[in-house]
Amino acid sequence: MQTKLVLVEGVPFTGKSTLSEYAAQQLGLNGHAVEWIPEGVMLEKYFPHIIPVLDQTQPLSEESLWADWSAFVQTVKSEPATFVVDAALSYAAVFPLLAEDQPHAAILAKVTRIAELCAPLHPHVIHLMGDTERLAHASIVDRGDKWQKHLVGQSDAAPYQKARGRSGIEGAIAFLHETQELMHVVLDESGWQTLTLDVTSADREANRRAVLSFLEIGEVQVDPPALAAPLQAYTGTYAEEDLDGPIGTLEVRMEQDRPVLYEPGPGMRLGPLVPVSATRFHLMATQLDVEFEVEEGIARRLVLHTPSGKAFDFRRT
């Protein structure tokens, strides 16, 4: 495969992280050297100047934006792996530029310049689109009040929204719809090799097959490991053993015959847990793993493992 860069793009709640992780996994299983860069890692490691812009604590510096993109492209060029990246164009170009209420023509010119910079990498773009109103309301049901507060807060603070006198969840949905439409125009006009998928229907299998065809690879099935206990044995609430720890409490629930990790109470759904060994599970669409200690057929403790090597210990309550 010639491409060195696969970009999975779209507004929040379109399933970018899940699909980008799947694409990276399948590239690896097909024998390609691959590096998956989820959204959080993408921002912290490669586009640090964008974080305060997204947090609305400082304005966008176009010089810093270009410097970050230039350094990122040089990194990808120098590595043997194909990079599969979650939301680089979305959150390190289109969204912050639109949020600052820059004209569409100016945004298109800047993204075209980024496309020219990336051209030696032969990038492929997977753009996830859908009915933003339906998807946004579904995401709030799925992720909870904390997610809705973040979505509305980020939208309300944007100069783009203030200039139009919009606020609240309906204002946020309108902003996301216009961001999605602009991304579609940008990709059409800037020469990216693009696969556009409608995610409203949630036909995940059809979208996965389309991604595999776009990347010119076949699907490799992964057999699930034998577990130390039935899935129901892992459900329950777990309290962090360090009383001053940053997380506090986690909860494992069963949904459609699979365990799902939650922040309990008014918190957020963190995502499904996928078994990778008898007692270890991967938190889908993240770089986090959960290791359970099973005694007498029930999970008594869990350890949350981060990609940096940190581990957080929890005990069943």
Asked whether residue 144 falls in the same domain as residue 237, the answer is no
Question: Which of these, 182, 150, 165, 160, lies nearest to 55 by C-alpha position?
Answer: 150
- Please give the pLDDT value at position 2: 84
Asked whether residue 134 falls in the same domain as residue 45, the answer is yes
Residue 37 lies in a domain: yes
Question: Which of these, 43, 186, 51, lies nearest to 111 by C-alpha position?
Answer: 186
Residue 223 lies in a domain: no
- Please give the pLDDT value at position 267: 60
Question: Which of 215, 246, 263 is a domain's end point?
Answer: 215
Q: Which tokens hold the place of 312?
A: 């957080």
Residue 162 lies in a domain: yes
Asked whether residue 200 falls in the same domain as residue 292, the answer is no
Q: Which residues contact 272 (CB under 8 A, 6 or more apart)?
A: 255, 258, 259, 260, 261, 283, 284
Q: Which parts of the chain are beta strand (E)?
A: 5-9, 34-37, 82-86, 124-129, 193-198, 236-240, 249-255, 258-262, 269-275, 280-283, 289-295, 298-305, 311-316
What is residue 272's DSSP assignment?
A: E
Question: Which of these, 89, 315, 58, 113, lies nearest to 183 by C-alpha position?
Answer: 89
Domain residues for the domain of 117 are 5-215
Asked whether residue 64 falls in the same domain as residue 164, the answer is yes
Asked whether residue 39 falls in the same domain as residue 181, the answer is yes
Asked whether residue 24 falls in the same domain as residue 68, the answer is yes
Residue 221 lies in a domain: no
Asked whether residue 144 falls in the same domain as residue 272, the answer is no
Asked whether residue 239 falls in the same domain as residue 91, the answer is no
Asked whether residue 241 falls in the same domain as residue 208, the answer is no
Residue 224 lies in a domain: no
Number of domains in the chain: 2
β partners of residue 6:
84, 124
Question: Which of 187, 215, 243 is a domain's end point?
Answer: 215
Task: Count the neighbouring beta carbons within 10 Å of the beta carbon of residue 16.
Answer: 26
Task: Count the neighbouring beta carbons within 10 Å of the beta carbon of residue 267.
Answer: 17
3-state class (DSSP) for residue 20: helix
Asked whether residue 122 falls in the same domain as residue 210, the answer is yes
Residue 244 lies in a domain: yes
CATH code of the domain in which 183 resides:
3.40.50.300
Q: Which residues contact 7 (CB under 8 A, 6 or more apart)?
A: 85, 88, 89, 123, 124, 125, 126, 192
3-state class (DSSP) for residue 236: strand
- Please give the pLDDT value at position 190: 83
Asked whether residue 10 falls in the same domain as residue 83, the answer is yes
pLDDT per residue over 163-210, tens digit each? 999 999 999 999 999 999 999 999 998 889 999 999 998 688 999 999
Asked whether residue 123 falls in the same domain as residue 205, the answer is yes
pLDDT per residue over 229-270, tens digit each? 999 999 999 999 999 999 999 999 999 899 999 987 656 789
Is the pTM higher than 0.85? The answer reads: yes
CATH code of the domain in which 290 resides:
2.40.128
Tens-level pLDDT at each residue, the chain (317 residues): 689 999 999 999 999 999 999 999 999 999 999 999 999 999 999 999 999 999 888 999 999 999 999 999 999 999 999 999 999 999 999 999 999 999 999 999 999 999 999 999 999 999 999 999 999 999 998 888 888 999 999 999 999 999 999 999 999 999 999 999 999 999 998 889 999 999 998 688 999 999 999 999 999 999 999 999 999 999 999 999 999 999 999 999 999 899 999 987 656 789 999 999 999 999 999 999 999 999 999 999 999 999 889 999 999 99
Residue 225 lies in a domain: no
Question: Which of 164, 186, 215 is a domain's end point?
Answer: 215
- Please give the pLDDT value at position 1: 66
Residue 151 lies in a domain: yes
